[in-house]
Amino acid sequence: MTTNSQVIYLKNYKPPAFLIDTTDLDIRIGDEYTSVVTRLKIRRNPASSEMSAELVLQGGKGIKLQEVMMDGLILDSSGYELEDSKLCIQQCPETFELTTECLIQPQLNTSLEGLYKSGGMYCTQCEAEGFRNITYYLDRPDALSVFTTRISAPKTSYPVLLANGNPVDSGDLDNGEHFAVWHDPFPKPAYLFAMVAGDLVRQDDEFITASGRKVDLQIFVEAHNSHKCDHALASLKRSMLWDEKTYGREYDLDLFMIVAVDDFNMGAMENKGLNIFNSDCVLADPATSSDAMFERIEGIVAHEYFHNWSGNRVTCRDWFQLSLKEGFTVYRDAQYTADTYSAAVKRIDDVTILRTHQFAEDASPMAHPIRPASYIEINNFYSVTVYEKGAEVVGMMHSLLGDHLFRKGSDLYFDRHDGQAVTTDHFVAAMGDASGIDLSQFKHWYSQAGTPTLTVTDSYDAAAQEYRLTVAQSTPATAECQHKQPFHMPFRMALLDANGTEMPLVVQGNDAITGTTCVLDIKQAQQTFVFQEVKQHPIPSLLRGFSAPVKLDYAYTKAQLLFLASKDQDGFCRWEACQRLLIEATEEAMLHTDGYQITDALVSMLRSSLVDEHLDTAMVAKLIQLPSEAYLAETQTTVDVDLIHAAREAMRMAIASALENELLTCYQRCHDTGPFSQTGGAIGNRALKNTCLSYLNSLGKTQYHNMAQQQYALQANMTDVGAALNSLIAIEGSNLATPLLTDFYQRWHTDTQVVDQWFAMQCGANRSGGLEQVQQLLQHSAFDIRNPNKVRSVVGSFIRSAINFHAADGSGYAFVGDMILKLDAINPMIASGLAKPLGRFKRQTPQRKALMQKQLQRLSEAQLSKDVFEVVNRALDSSND
């Protein structure tokens, strides 16, 4: 806990004064203390300008230094200094061997950074700066070293001992102990170190690489989860094949291991050869996991696997470069999902996340460019901006370069920088060098935060057959930058004729554009494109595939949107037209709270999707879904949470009553009575069926309550069971769900993942009375404040139930304030995640704004971790903006 927090700046980067060629760890696990003996072969870094610098190794608060030896000689206390959790040695030769012995207590580590205990097993999480909690080290990503790890532990409690790389030795010791030695031949930074000791069972598979090497694939889980590994193993093999085909990248070791742990701060971690996963993000079977969870697991398995090249073989120079590996890897896993399943549905899902959460972050006190210029605590920057906007930036380069040159660029990047720790500039340089395209202006995406607005205007000259399209961009000021330079971005578009057919494109002064769709290079604050030989007044289909992370402002008429909603061949634009119409309708409902009349045009638009049996059902489910309250809030200048909720509910009811028969018919058509299947069609049917069920249950009719109860009673699969429960939970003022929730808990109380879902369904319900509900559940015997998944299911879900978090009396804010203080002493990273929403007061009503600031003020008066300190202070500093 500290309040004198230091700001770290990108501009102060210096290469390390020393390099560590090899790192030998000897880790002896003991009940009270775990001892760590670290032997380092160190030499001065020829690339450093400080040739007589002292050696400074970082260490965490919890480690007890026992002994320091240099070249075999014990240093007495005058030979080194221990200050501020740093180990400093002033007199160092050109090359030397340094050995330290430390004692740590992993069983007391509740921050889950470094070596800690999760249930009965020991495991590690070293990204970003967790390794320093294990031993004194050069804990920075540009210090690459070859690791050898020896682990010893009592054999009966910890029969499985794992670390990075290949197993090289193992055996029994005295006193019921045993040991294992692992060697990783690939030099890596400490954040990629991992080890595990536990009582785990193993599921095996194998993969033959393109060059014919056999790779053993192993998933380690607790025995009761052994039946939940198949999906992750299948996903892993698909990912390995895809990366060979798409990026020409093979796996490099002969062994790839995944370990599932219940206590984990994030989704999963790409440690070399030994990925560690949050159980929730790897274990699945149809009885306990919904379709959405299967999909999420596949994406995360792919993501961590892809890091082996984008992150591990080529790593980051410093933590400001985090998006180098995360943005690129999110982009790669999104491409994988798009290629393997439905590209349009995946794009819609990703754009929804980006516009709901990243745009909100960009407009918040925590706004930062995808390459931040400074931070107090790097953990705060594992953000939707660095990850999801970072992925959009890579995707924009792909659009600007085209498939062939993008692949040429990624090949050059991997080949040129294999084994190095580099920056986002190196990535862009590789793309630029391989393609010959000038990306200098494009780099503003890395240094400027904020969401640009693209204002598009047009005119058509029938006599000249000319269509003029003017695109203007502007980006609001953010803390790091008041006046933004224009961005370089790809603007994908087409022109549709009255039948919806794409017209041939002839752009004045640009012979490169042929065909019926194009990507325009937007570079200036304002620029005009002249399309020639345009035979009739076109309807523009703009920002196809959401080709840039911007807000598009074009004054579409309702008629045009209805046209695009049924005719646009671009799946994203089609959906977007529907969404715009639904948002506009919801805005009208906000103005008419005493009775909202839905228009016939909107009803028939929704009907035509609903009754069209030829459409992909997953896509229909997206087309008819209302925008979330969170996204609606994002589109408003002032946010009135209650009004948004009421208007959206009114819309839901209006649509359900206008289309009751169609919804019911569609429900019945999509209701699958055959054996459970996970094909795309079956998943789409479930999505559409359950969307219909939710609409129908807004009507308050017993008939539909029964339908949901029957769907629950069938217990066909977790998707249907969860959807049935959710549709009943959502009914304001009703307790129809209560007996089913009791039944659900009884069925599944031994499965901690399902219990997480049970908590989340109840705490995330956007109906009144949420706070009492959550307070009761916090007392439940299955709740554990030290388990991040439980905290996310209970407190995280509560924050997402907007009407409860934003309760007018401030009770939701005060509750979250209490939880932040309680959690900060346990797990700062999790506490700070809960603090970010409190800082998003800018567009709330004045009363709510004051109540949110009051909680932040109260937090700022406490002793805070760096994590929460940074979030709270940035929010308070922004109060006067």
Residues at the interface with ligand TRP (CB under 6 A)? 125, 127-128, 265-266, 268-270, 303-304, 326, 379, 382
Residue 478: CB partners within 8 Å, gap ≥ 6?
362, 367, 448, 449, 450
Residue 265: which of ligand TRP, Zn ion, none does it interact with, CB under 5 to 8 A by kind? ligand TRP
Judging by beta carbons within 10 Å of its beta carbon (0-12, 13-18, 19+), is residue 499 exposed, middle or buried?
Answer: exposed
Residue 266: which of ligand TRP, Zn ion, none does it interact with, CB under 5 to 8 A by kind? ligand TRP
Least distance in angstroms from the C-beta of 62 to Zn ion:
26
Annotated catalytic residue, options 113, 270, 298, 304: 304
- The C-alpha angle with vertex 25 and arms to 21 and 26, in degrees rounded to 5, equals 155
Least distance in angstroms from the C-beta of 257 to Zn ion:
17
Nearer to Zn ion, 59 or 372 (CB): 372
Residue 127: which of ligand TRP, Zn ion, none does it interact with, CB under 5 to 8 A by kind? ligand TRP
d(CA 293, CA 278): 13
Phi, psi of 570 (to 5 degrees): -80, 115
Least distance in angstroms from the C-beta of 54 to ligand TRP:
29
Residue 398: which of ligand TRP, Zn ion, none does it interact with, CB under 5 to 8 A by kind? none
Nearer to Zn ion, 296 or 747 (CB): 296
Nearer to Zn ion, 298 or 326 (CB): 326
Residue 263: which of ligand TRP, Zn ion, none does it interact with, CB under 5 to 8 A by kind? none
Nearer to ligand TRP, 116 or 667 (CB): 116
- CA dihedral sign, ordered 313, 318, 322, 328: negative
Residue 687: which of Zn ion, ligand TRP, none does it interact with, CB under 5 to 8 A by kind? none
Nearer to ligand TRP, 260 or 269 (CB): 269
Least distance in angstroms from the C-beta of 117 to Zn ion:
24
Nearer to ligand TRP, 386 or 602 (CB): 386
Question: Interface residues for Zn ion in 308-327 (CB under 5 A)?
Answer: 326
Tokens coding 132: 């320093």
Tokens coding 156: 């009966």
Phi, psi of 260 (to 5 degrees): -100, 125
- Please name the residue that has the structure tokens 């909100």: 360
Residue 26: which of ligand TRP, Zn ion, none does it interact with, CB under 5 to 8 A by kind? none
What is the rounded (10 degree) CA torsion for 217, 221, 223, 226? -50
Phi, psi of 836 (to 5 degrees): -55, -45
In the residue annotation, 304 being an active-site residue is answered as yes
Residue 269: which of ligand TRP, Zn ion, none does it interact with, CB under 5 to 8 A by kind? ligand TRP
Are 657 and 586 spatial neighbours (Cβ–Cβ below 8 Å)?
Answer: no
Residue 845: CB partners within 8 Å, gap ≥ 6?
638, 639, 640
d(CA 347, CA 337): 10
Axis crossing angle, helix 322-340 with helix 343-353, rounded to the nearest 10? 140
Residue 874: which of Zn ion, ligand TRP, none does it interact with, CB under 5 to 8 A by kind? none
Judging by beta carbons within 10 Å of its beta carbon (0-12, 13-18, 19+), is residue 166 exposed, middle or buried?
Answer: middle
Tokens coding 609: 């999707």
3-class SS of residue 217: strand
Tokens coding 396: 């924009």
Least distance in angstroms from the C-beta of 422 to ligand TRP:
17
Least Cα distance to 772 among 728, 833, 815 occurs for 815
Q: Around Cβ 312, how many Cβ atoms within 10 Å?
A: 20
Residue 807: which of Zn ion, ligand TRP, none does it interact with, CB under 5 to 8 A by kind? none
DSSP lists the bridge partners of residue 9 as 374
Site string for Zn ion, 324-353 (x = CB under 5 A): --x--x------------------------
Nearer to ligand TRP, 165 or 327 (CB): 327
Are 542 and 455 spatial neighbours (Cβ–Cβ below 8 Å)?
Answer: no
Judging by beta carbons within 10 Å of its beta carbon (0-12, 13-18, 19+), is residue 136 exposed, middle or buried?
Answer: buried
Least distance in angstroms from the C-beta of 307 to Zn ion:
6
d(CA 412, CA 780): 55
3-class SS of residue 528: strand
- Please name the residue that has the structure tokens 């069972």: 201
Nearer to Zn ion, 128 or 434 (CB): 128
d(CA 91, CA 554): 66
Least distance in angstroms from the C-beta of 789 to ligand TRP:
13
- Please name the residue that has the structure tokens 């004054």: 555
Nearer to Zn ion, 182 or 331 (CB): 331
Least distance in angstroms from the C-beta of 187 to Zn ion:
20
DSSP-assigned letters across all residues of 604-631: HHHHHHHH-TTS-HHHHHHHHPPPPHHH
- Please name the residue that has the structure tokens 């499985």: 160
Report the residue closest to ligand TRP, judged by CB: 266
Tokens coding 423: 């920056």
b/e per residue 230-265 (b: at least 16 CB within 10 A): ebbbebbbbbbebbbeebebbbbbebbbbbbbbbbb
Least distance in angstroms from the C-beta of 338 to Zn ion:
18
Nearer to Zn ion, 222 or 326 (CB): 326
Least distance in angstroms from the C-beta of 691 to ligand TRP:
30
Nearer to Zn ion, 333 or 576 (CB): 333
Least distance in angstroms from the C-beta of 308 to ligand TRP:
11
Are 485 and 402 spatial neighbours (Cβ–Cβ below 8 Å)?
Answer: no
Nearer to ligand TRP, 144 or 803 (CB): 144
**What ranges in 418-463 are assigned the alpha helix state H?**
424-435, 444-447
Least distance in angstroms from the C-beta of 269 to ligand TRP:
4
Phi, psi of 560 (to 5 degrees): -65, -40
What phi-psi label fits residue 176: left (phi over 0), alpha (psi between -120 and 50 degrees) or beta?
left
Residue 576: which of ligand TRP, Zn ion, none does it interact with, CB under 5 to 8 A by kind? none
Least distance in angstroms from the C-beta of 271 to ligand TRP:
9
Asked if omega into 601 is within 30° of 0 (cis), the reply is: no
Tokens coding 799: 């924050």
Nearer to ligand TRP, 113 or 521 (CB): 113
d(CA 497, CA 284): 47
Residues that bind Zn ion (CB under 5 A): 326, 329
**Enzyme catalytic residues:** 304
